[in-house]
Amino acid sequence: MKVYTKTGDKGQTGLYTGERVDKDSVRVEAYGMVDEADSALGMARAIAVNPEVKTTIYDLQKLLWSLMADVASVGAEPRITGKEVQQLEVLIDKFDAELPPLTSFLVPGDTASSAALDIARTVTRRAERQLWRLSRQEELSGEGLVFLNRLSDLCFVLARVEINGK
C-alpha cells in the first residue's frame, strides 16, 4: 500500500465516517489540532524522566486517537465519554496530591520535560478552542470539549511532577 492516495489533491479529505469535506474546514482543523496535541505529548513522553509520567502520557495519547476519531466522524456514537473525563480527573487529583502546594506562577522551562508538557498544555488549549468553534457550527459531543479542558490541566500537573523530580 502506498503512502499517498491522491484523493486529497483537489483540496478535500475524507472523514472517518466517509463524508468528503474541504481540507480547511473547521472540523478538519479541529482534529488536526488534536493531532498536534498528540504529537506534543509524544515529545513530552520522549523526554520525561518519571516512568509513571511516561506511562500516563502514552495512555493519554491513545485516548486522543479516540477523540480524533470522534471529531472526524459525523453522526457516530462518541468514543470519549464522561468515563474518560473522570479518568483524567482521577489522575489530576492523584498526581496533584503528591506535589507541594503551588505558591506562585510557574515560568515554563525549569526542565526539558516540564517545558515539553507546557507546550502540550498550550497546544491542547488551542485544540479545545477550535473544538468550541466547531461545536458552534456543527454537532459535536460535549464530552470531547471537557476532555481537552481536563487534559490541559493534567499536562500542567504532570509538568509540575517533572519539575519536582517525583
- Give me the amino acid identity at 71: V
Domain boundaries, position 31: 22-100+107-165
Phi, psi of 22 (to 5 degrees): -65, 145
Instruction: Answer for the pair 57, 45: CB distance below 8 angstroms, yes or no.
Output: yes
Instruction: Answer for the pair 131, 148: CB distance below 8 angstroms, yes or no.
Output: yes
Q: Which 3 state secondary structure label does DSSP give 115? A: helix
Position 2 in a domain: no
Q: How far apart are CA 98 and CA 69, in angstroms?
A: 33
Position 7 in a domain: no
In sequence order, the 6+-apart residues with CB closer than 8 A to the CB of 117 are 44, 48, 155, 156, 158, 159, 162
pLDDT at 15: 77
First to last CA, the chain: 45
Number of domains the chain contains: 1
Phi, psi of 152 (to 5 degrees): -65, -40
pLDDT at 123: 98
CATH assignment of the domain containing 83? 1.20.1200.10
Position 57 in a domain: yes
- In this predicted structure, the answer to whether residue 70 has a pLDDT above a threshold of 60 is yes
pLDDT at 104: 78
Position 8 in a domain: no
Whole-model pTM: value is 0.91
Position 53 in a domain: yes
Residue whose C-alpha is closest to residue 32's, from 132, 153, 126, 154: 126
User: Which of 4-8, 49-53, 115-119, 162-166 has the lowest average pLDDT?
Assistant: 4-8
Per residue in 7-62, pLDDT tens? 667 777 777 877 887 788 999 999 999 999 999 999 999 999 999 999 999 999 99
pLDDT band at 130 (very low <50, low <70, confident <90, very high): very high
